[in-house]
Amino acid sequence: MDCVFCGIVANRLPAYRLYEDEHFIVLLDVFPLRPAHLLVVSREHAPLLEDLGAAAAERLFAVAQRMAGALRAEGYGVDGINLLLNDGPASNQHVPHLHLHLIPRRAGDLPALLWRSLTRFLPLGRKRLEGHFQHQAARLRHALAGDL
C-alpha cells in the first residue's frame, strides 16, 4: 500500500506532528489553505468515514475540539474554523485515508483563501513555508502542552 498518511503514521515519512493518541495523529497540512491548517489523521487506514472503527469515530470530534482550542489559544481561527472531512473521490478527497481538516479563518479572508486554493500545489515558496511550519508547530505544541 502506498498511502502517504500510512507512511506518516508509521514514521516512514516526515510530518509536523502536533498531537498523538491511540486513534489519531494531528499534523500541519503541508499544502495549507490558511496558516496553521491542521489535519486530524486516523492511525488506521480507513478510506471513508464508514470504514473508521467505532472507538476512533467516537473520539474524532473530541480531538478536533481540543485542536480548535489550541488554534484559538495561539491566535489562529479566532473568527472561525472550518472543519472539513472529504469522504470519497467525488467530495475532493485526494488521499483515500480518513482525515479531518481544521482550517483557521479570519473575517474577510475569502479572496486569500481562494488564491491559496488555486496555487497551493505550486512549488513556489515551499522553502519559505518551512519556516512558517516550524513556527506554527512550536506555538501549537506549546498551547497543547498547557492543555494537558
Domain with residue 135: its CATH number is 3.30.428.10
Cβ atoms of 66 and 38 within 8 Å: the answer is no
Q: Is the pLDDT of residue 147 over 90?
A: no
C-alpha to C-alpha distance for 133 and 113, rounded to whole angstroms:
18
Does residue 62 fall inside a structural domain? Answer: yes
Number of domains the chain contains: 1
pLDDT one-digit tens code per residue, 18-58: 999 999 999 999 988 889 999 999 999 999 999 999 999 99
pLDDT class of 126 with cuts at 50, 70, 90 = low
Q: Is 11 left (phi over 0), alpha (psi -120 to 50) or beta?
A: left
Asked whether residue 148 carries a pLDDT value surpassing 60, the answer given is no
- In tens, the pLDDT along 60-116 reads 999 999 999 999 999 999 999 999 999 999 999 999 999 999 999 988 887 676 766
Residue 84, domain extent: 4-107+119-147
Q: Model's pTM, two decimal places? A: 0.86
Element housing 102 (H / E): strand 99-105
- Return the pLDDT at 131: 77
The answer to whether position 20 is within a domain reads: yes
Please state the separation of Cα 74 from the chain's center in Å: 16
In-domain check, residue 88: yes
- Residue 67, pLDDT score: 98
The C-alpha atoms of residue 135 and residue 141 are separated, in whole angstroms, by: 10
Residue 114 maps to a domain = no
Which residues are annotated as catalytic?
A: 99
Report the interhelical angle of 54-73 vs 126-147 (nearest 10°). 100
Quick one: pLDDT band at residue 16, thresholds 50, 70, 90? very high
